[in-house]
Amino acid sequence: MADLGVGQDTANTIYTESQSALAVARNLVFHARTNHIEVHYHYVVESLSAGEISLAYVPTECNLADHFTKALSCEKLEAFRKALGLLPFVD
């Protein structure tokens, strides 16, 4: 953000429903299963260590991004629609 001329006092929070991704990013110990992780992972770990970002878990049922990425039941779609403040579709 500083490169864009926008000051910021707190870290950006990245919300994810992947507990595995949180565990890998927070645990800096090398594991055999993580030796083929791509370069952008290392950037996330460096940013986390520098305090530029923070990671937070959001349960699947509370994740509003699911509205855009997964097939949903009518009830769940209606709940997400209300949470986003969208008006119902009317014929």
pTM for the full model?
A: 0.61
Least confident of 3-7, 23-27, 39-43, 73-77: 39-43
Task: List pLDDT tens digits, range 8-30.
Answer: 788 889 888 888 888 878 776 65
Domain ranges of the chain: 1-58, 60-91
The more confidently predicted of residues 33 and 88 is: 88
Is the Cβ–Cβ distance between 73 and 66 less than 8 Å?
Answer: no
Is the Cβ–Cβ distance between 15 and 56 less than 8 Å?
Answer: yes
What is the rounded average pLDDT of the residues 77-91? Answer: 80
Task: List pLDDT tens digits, range 35-55.
Answer: 666 666 678 888 888 888 899
Q: Can you tell me the distance from the alpha carbon of 72 to that of 83, in angstroms, rounded to the nearest whole number? A: 14
Q: What is the DSSP letter of 11?
A: P
Secondary structure of the chain: what % helix, strand, coil (to 5)? 45, 10, 45
Confidence (pLDDT) at 28: 65
